[in-house]
Amino acid sequence: MTPAPGADHRKQPRRRGAALNSAIFEAVRAEIAESGYAALTMERVAERARASKASLYRRWPGRAALVLDAAYDVMPNDSSVPDTGSLRGDVLALMRQIVRLLDGVLGEAMLGLLGESLQNPEAAAQIREFGRGNMVRTMREIVGRAVARGECDASLVTERRLEAGPALLRHRVLFSGLPVGDDYLQEVVDDVVLPLFGVRPARRPETSPEG
């Protein structure tokens, strides 16, 4: 009844380094896809990856850091800044990019991590870097190009205005629980972002703040 210590099931050679890392990341994502972030357990990840808990803890101090890396691992780095020729097109493209990114395992991971960071302030800083800044930074670039094109006036570009679009998008994702449809994105762009930068929206010409 005592399991023979030599009774080993593996035949494939022992994985190390990067190969093991990948297997672990895969397991993390599978667990998140199956049961969600909250149900994710170091123990189950280890079992699923056919790794030992020690190997997990040797690499990451805890669940959050592990999920963080597993998410980064699939983060597409093709998040090039859109350039459609118009501010409206660029902002919409950026928002669609983000929405697409958040749909699926990566989104589940990010929501879970955000939840974690809200409860555990010490881990928050690290996690915060994860998805943050990027969107505002991209907004800055997009708007900068619009200014260069003469589409909007440089004096209108302030930090808060750049944040408005991202903030509304996150607001929707975090608080409504509803899917983010393209209608919503267009409303954000046409009702808020474009007016803030003095650009007349294409869709609702009557809604210009310059009454």
- In the complex, the residues that contact a copy of itself under the rule CB under 8 A are 1-2, 5, 17-18, 21, 34-39, 59, 69, 111-112, 114-121, 124-125, 128, 132, 153, 155-156, 158-161, 163-164, 166-168, 170-171, 174-177, 187-188, 191-192, 195-198, 206-207, 209-211
User: Of DNA, a copy of itself, none, which one does residue 43 interact with (CB within 5 to 8 Å by kind)?
Assistant: DNA
User: Given the rule CB under 7 A, which of 58-66, 75-83, 161-169, 191-199 is the region that contacts DNA?
Assistant: 58-66
Q: How far is the CB of 111 from DNA (least distance, A)?
A: 18
Q: How far is the CB of 11 from a copy of itself (least distance, A)?
A: 22
From first CA to last CA, the distance across the chain in angstroms is 84
Closest CA to 108 of 28, 206, 9, 181: 28
Q: Using the rule CB under 7 A, which residue among 27, 28, 32, 63 binds DNA?
A: 63
CA distance 99 to 107: 9
Amino acid identity, residue 96?
R
What is the token pair recorded at 106? 């990566």
Residue 99's contacts (CB-CB under 8 Å, 6 or more residues apart) are 169, 180, 185
C-beta separation of 130 from 113 below 8 A: yes
CA distance 92 to 84: 10
Q: How far is the CB of 62 from DNA (least distance, A)?
A: 4
User: Given the rule CB under 7 A, which of 3-11, 80-88, 129-137, 203-211 is the region that contacts DNA?
Assistant: 3-11
Q: Distance of alpha carbon 51 from its chain centroid, rounded?
A: 27
User: Of DNA, a copy of itself, none, which one does residue 6 interact with (CB within 5 to 8 Å by kind)?
Assistant: DNA
User: Of a copy of itself, DNA, none, which one does residue 34 interact with (CB within 5 to 8 Å by kind)?
Assistant: a copy of itself
